Amino acid sequence: MNKSRLEAFSDGVFAIAITILVLNISIEDVSYADLSGALIGLLPKIFSYVMSFILIGLYWLGHHFYFERIRQVDGNFVLMNIALLMLISFMPFPTFLLGKYPMGQLPLTLYGCTLIATNAVSFLMLVYIYRNQHLANEHFKNEFYKLQLPLFFSINAMYAAGIACSFFWPHISYAIYLFVLLFALVSFVRRMNDSVKNK
Distance CA 83, CA 34 (A): 42
Q: Quick one: which segment of 12-20, 118-126, 154-162, 169-177 binds its own copies (CB under 8 A)?
A: 12-20
Candidates 41, 43, 93, 146; binder of its own copies (CB under 8 A) is 93
- Phi/psi of residue 138, nearest 5 degrees: -70, -15
Query: Is position 129 an interface residue for its own copies (rule: CB under 8 A)?
Result: no
Report, in Å, the least distance between residue 28 CB and its own copies: 8
Candidates 62, 92, 99, 112; binder of its own copies (CB under 8 A) is 92
Report, in Å, the least distance between residue 116 CB and its own copies: 17
List b or e across 58-75, with b for residues whose CB sees 16 or more CB atoms inside 10 angstroms.
bbbbbbebbbebbeebee
**Per rule CB under 8 A, count of chain residues that contact its own copies:** 69
Q: Quick one: which segment of 72-80, 114-122, 149-157, 162-170 binds its own copies (CB under 8 A)?
A: 72-80
- Which residues, other chains included, contact 141 with Cβ-Cβ below 8 Å and sequence gap of 6+? none
Task: Using alpha carbons, list the distances in angstroms from residue 58 to 51, 119, 157, 182, 183.
Answer: 11, 11, 18, 11, 11
Angle subtended by helix axes 170-197 and 43-68, to nearest 10: 40
Question: Which residues, 17 to 36, sit near its own copies by CB under 8 A?
Answer: 17-23, 25-27, 32, 35-36
Nearer CB in complex with its own copies: 64/123: 64
Draw the binding track, 50-69, toward its own copies (x: CB under 8 A; -: no contact): x--xx--x--xx--x---x-
Nearer CB in complex with its own copies: 157/194: 194
Query: Is position 144 an interface residue for its own copies (rule: CB under 8 A)?
Result: no
3-state SS string over 54-99?
A: HHHHHHHHHHHHHHHCECCCCHHHHHHHHHHHHHHHHCHHHHHHHH
Query: Is position 193 an interface residue for its own copies (rule: CB under 8 A)?
Result: yes
